[in-house]
């Protein structure tokens, strides 16, 4: 639609219309479809592999704060993210190293680092949100030995590597683990009451 310019009398402190508001782009705003645009990624995506915020920042010099945020996020999420074992022995059988006890009485491997997609705008909240936690096996003769792996056991690269190409599907971890997601139950009480929420 063509733009519509407002013609109201200009009076800076008044609540009346103040001219020249551009309505272009405001057309058809009440379309009722849900217009999510899902980011389509290629099959493989280049990622950075970082043991800490400092290495992330060396690779992404403009992104110091975002690297720190991604690292802090990893530290905060490791208890929820990491693979869980019923005993320390089982955990060490898979990962070796210093397995950590969880409040549940289970054990998990230590956090080894995190991965982030490369070449994206690091000011984008989604960039940090798409980081994945990584673990490194310390036990010889296991598939994880000196490899970066995700909690699902996806084998990314040698733990010396600082970048890799991975299936884009692996970069979907602002998905909470499905087992921890639960419906909010929102909308039920109003539904039982009335046709609409507004007033």
Could you list the residues that contact other proteins (CB under 8 A)? 4, 6-9, 14-18, 21, 23, 25-32, 34-36, 80, 121, 123-127, 129, 174-176, 178, 180-191, 193-199
Query: Within 13 Å of residue 166, how many CA atoms lie on the same side as its CB?
Result: 26
- Rounded to the nearest whole angstrom, what is the least distance from the CB of residue 125 to other proteins in the complex? 4
- Rounded to the nearest whole angstrom, what is the least distance from the CB of residue 107 to other proteins in the complex? 18
Which DSSP string do the residues of 114-164 spell out, in sequence order? EEEESSS-TTSHHHHHT-EEEEEB-STTSTTBTEEE-TT--EEEETT-SEE
Beta carbon nearer to other proteins, 154 or 164: 154
- Rounded to the nearest whole angstrom, what is the least distance from the CB of residue 158 to other proteins in the complex? 29
Beta carbon nearer to other proteins, 155 or 174: 174
- Rounded to the nearest whole angstrom, what is the least distance from the CB of residue 145 to other proteins in the complex? 31
The answer to whether 128 touches 53, Cβ cutoff 8 Å, is no
Beta carbon nearer to other proteins, 164 or 168: 168
Beta carbon nearer to other proteins, 7 or 161: 7
Q: Which residue has the tokens 């490194």?
A: 136
- Rounded to the nearest whole angstrom, what is the least distance from the CB of residue 72 to other proteins in the complex? 14
In the structure encoding, which two tokens stand for residue 156, read together? 């990314």
Beta carbon nearer to other proteins, 28 or 140: 28
Among the listed residues 170, 177, 173, the one whose alpha carbon sits nearest the alpha carbon of residue 46: 170
Its sign, for the CA torsion 101, 106, 109, 113, is negative
Phi, psi (deg, nearest 5) at residue 170 = -75, -15
């Amino acid at each position: 639609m063509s733009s519509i310019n407002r013609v109201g009398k200009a009076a800076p402190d008044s609540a009346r219309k103040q001219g020249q508001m551009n309505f272009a782009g405001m057309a058809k705003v009440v379309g009722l479809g849900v217009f999510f645009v899902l980011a389509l990624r290629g099959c493989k995506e280049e990622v950075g592999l970082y043991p800490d915020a400092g290495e992330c920042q060396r690779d992404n010099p403009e992104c110091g704060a975002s690297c720190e945020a991604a690292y802090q996020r990893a530290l905060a999420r490791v208890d929820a993210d990491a693979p869980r074992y019923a005993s320390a022995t089982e955990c060490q059988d898979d990962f070796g190293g210093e397995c950590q006890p969880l409040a549940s009485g289970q054990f998990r491997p230590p956090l080894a680092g995190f991965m982030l997609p490369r070449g994206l705008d690091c000011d984008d909240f989604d960039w940090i949100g798409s980081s994945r936690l990584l673990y490194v096996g310390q036990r010889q003769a296991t598939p994880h030995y000196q490899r970066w792996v995700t909690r699902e056991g996806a084998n990314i690269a040698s733990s010396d590597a600082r970048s890799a190409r991975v299936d884009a599907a692996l970069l979907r971890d602002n998905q909470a683990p499905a087992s921890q997601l639960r419906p909010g139950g929102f909308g039920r009480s109003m539904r039982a009451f009335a046709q609409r929420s507004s007033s």
